[in-house]
């Protein structure tokens, strides 16, 4: 059992929603699609569900033409961003609804509904009205209604985006356990998100989308260590990976007249010339002597402080592992960790990675 897309294209008013999208997804695995808003994630999920028909290309499921199967016959379940529940029905009735539509025996419905509610932690809420539930509980109901269908393909379109931070964190861990359980039943799970942290925590395989294209498909570890392009590096990091132009000349990485770095060992094979260099926020710190930068903005996030720094044409975000106040315009000394430095070519493709990855 596999889901395969070949050259899917969808164009409306000269704008590509899907642009030559190809992939293969196997049963028993979790796939996370990450991309910014309007990157094509939702369009792709709706195409798989049969809610949208592509202009060209084909979808194959188990080697058969998936496009020829009507929506109502596809073994696909989908959970949306919004809590799409039936307000006039209680929790049990909401989850049972798709099974009643199929005229399944009442005893089987009861068994499957209770199993789904147990999976999402809603046993004891069967008679509760939807309006009496919290946002997180409503999303659990929507998930249970999808799980109860026992579908071969489960699609989740940014299901946590409308919840507060703490609840997202809690449900993300719970969803991961549910997804792993579902994957063990040889289902294909496809989860879309704009959040790099969420994508990495869910694990599995990641597809990076931008402007309707799939830029890279690989394991979470491979995407993190070896982003194929500068665009992938920006999309899959929060904050986005710092990117700056510079040159390798005479055993040095030269960013400008002030910032000149020793050549890291993983750059030794690179020829002299112009590159785009990348460095995550965690690679720019204030704990060692470095280069003078002016503070443009300081953002406190939990126990960390993200510093937006500028020097001439170079603007970067650095990380301070502490909570500290800074004045705008204040001069600080920023240290660049050369062992964490990436090099990308003029075409944006990865040339050298701290983890040994090459394009």
Q: Which two tokens stand for residue 359?
A: 């394009």
In the block, which residue shows the tokens 């590096």? Answer: 233
Summarised one tens digit per residue, pLDDT across range 232-267 is: 999 999 999 999 999 999 899 999 999 999 999 999
In the block, which residue shows the tokens 């009507």? Answer: 70
What is the homologous superfamily of the domain 3-229 according to CATH? P-loop containing nucleotide triphosphate hydrolases (3.40.50.300)
Residue 316 near residue 279, CB atoms below 8 Å? yes
Q: What is the pLDDT of residue 175?
A: 77
350 vs 164: which has the higher pLDDT: 350
The secondary structure of residue 325, as a DSSP letter, is -
pLDDT above 60 (res 2): yes
Residue spans of the domains in the chain: they are 3-229, 242-352
Q: Which two tokens stand for residue 70?
A: 């009507």
- Helix or strand holding residue 19 (H, E): strand 15-25
Q: Is 166 helix (H, G, I), strand (E, B) or coil?
A: helix
**Residue 66 banded pLDDT, cuts 50, 70, 90:** very high
287 vs 264: which has the higher pLDDT: 264
Which CA distances in Å does 200 have to 69, 192, 215, 330?
A: 33, 12, 17, 34
Closest C-alpha among 123, 152, 127 to residue 140: 123
Select the highest-mean-pLDDT range: 50-59, 116-125, 178-187: 50-59
């Amino acid at each position: 059992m596999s889901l395969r897309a070949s050259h899917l294209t969808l164009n409306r008013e000269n704008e590509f929603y899907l642009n030559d999208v190809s992939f293969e997804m196997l049963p028993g695995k979790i796939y996370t699609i990450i991309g910014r808003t309007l990157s094509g994630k939702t369009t792709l999920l709706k195409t798989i569900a049969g809610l949208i028909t592509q202009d060209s290309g084909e979808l194959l499921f188990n080697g058969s033409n998936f496009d020829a199967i009507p929506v109502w016959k596809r073994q696909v379940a989908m959970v949306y961003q919004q809590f799409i529940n039936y307000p006039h029905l209680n929790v049990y009735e909401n989850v049972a609804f798709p099974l009643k539509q199929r005229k399944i025996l009442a005893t089987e419905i009861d068994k499957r509904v209770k199993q789904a509610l147990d999976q999402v932690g809603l046993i004891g809420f069967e008679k509760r009205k939807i309006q009496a539930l919290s946002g997180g509980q409503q999303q659990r109901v929507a998930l249970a209604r999808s799980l109860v269908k026992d579908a071969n393909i489960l699609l989740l379109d940014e299901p946590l985006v409308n919840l507060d931070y703490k609840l997202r964190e809690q449900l993300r861990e719970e969803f991961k356990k549910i997804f792993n359980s579902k994957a063990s039943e040889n289902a294909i799970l496809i989860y879309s998100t704009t959040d790099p942290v969420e994508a990495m925590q869910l694990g599995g395989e990641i597809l990076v989308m931008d402007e309707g294209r799939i830029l890279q498909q690989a394991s979470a570890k491979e995407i993190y260590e070896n982003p194929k392009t500068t665009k992938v590096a920006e999309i899959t990091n929060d904050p986005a990976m710092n990117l700056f132009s510079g040159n390798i000349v005479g055993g040095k990485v030269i960013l400008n007249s002030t910032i000149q770095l020793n050549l890291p060992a993983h750059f030794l094979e690179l020829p002299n010339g112009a590159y785009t260099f990348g460095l995550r926020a965690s690679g720019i710190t204030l704990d060692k002597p470095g280069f003078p930068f002016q503070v443009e903005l300081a953002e406190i996030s939990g126990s960390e402080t993200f510093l937006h720094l500028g020097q001439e044409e170079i603007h970067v975000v650095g990380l301070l592992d502490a909570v500290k106040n800074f004045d705008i315009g204040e001069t600080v000394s920023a240290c660049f960790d050369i062992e964490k430095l990436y090099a990308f070519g003029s075409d944006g493709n990865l040339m050298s990675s701290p983890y040994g990855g090459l394009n």
